[in-house]
């Protein structure tokens, strides 16, 4: 399986945000996907990921399909509006 990294995709998991950065992590998410929420979109994405692992489908396309699947499922996270870690550290540590 490919472990090539790509730009992170963030998704909501119960009480935290998870970061997915490679094909193996996409498979981990899909393996844990609730069986009662699997359907045609899930099956299509799983097939595309398997084809990517076998070198028959581009990783960039699998990543984009995964992002769209998460968005459609309502769990795609966007945190660009949140505070940046570096800024928070400067605020709390700046006068130390």
pLDDT in tens, 14-63: 889 999 999 999 999 999 999 999 999 999 999 999 999 999 999 999 99
pTM given for the model: 0.79
Intra-chain end-to-end CA distance of the chain, in Å: 47
Cα separation, 90 vs 34, in Å, equals 41
Alpha-carbon gap, residue 86 to 44, rounded angstroms: 39
In the chain, what are the domain boundaries? 5-93
Residue with more model confidence, 64 or 86: 64
- Full DSSP string of 51-92: HHHTTSS-HHHHHHHHHHHHHHHT-B---TTSPPHHHHHHHH
SS3 label, residue 20: strand
């Amino acid at each position: 399986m490919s472990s090539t990294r790509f730009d992170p995709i963030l998704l909501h998991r119960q009480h935290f945000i998870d970061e997915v950065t490679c094909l193996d992590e996409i498979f981990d998410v899909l393996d844990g996907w609730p069986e009662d929420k699997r359907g045609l979109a899930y099956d299509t994405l799983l097939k595309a990921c398997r084809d990517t692992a076998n070198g028959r489908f581009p990783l960039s396309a699998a990543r984009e399909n995964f992002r769209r699947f998460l968005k459609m499922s309502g769990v795609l996270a966007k945190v660009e509006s949140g505070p940046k870690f570096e800024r928070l550290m400067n605020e709390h540590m700046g006068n130390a």
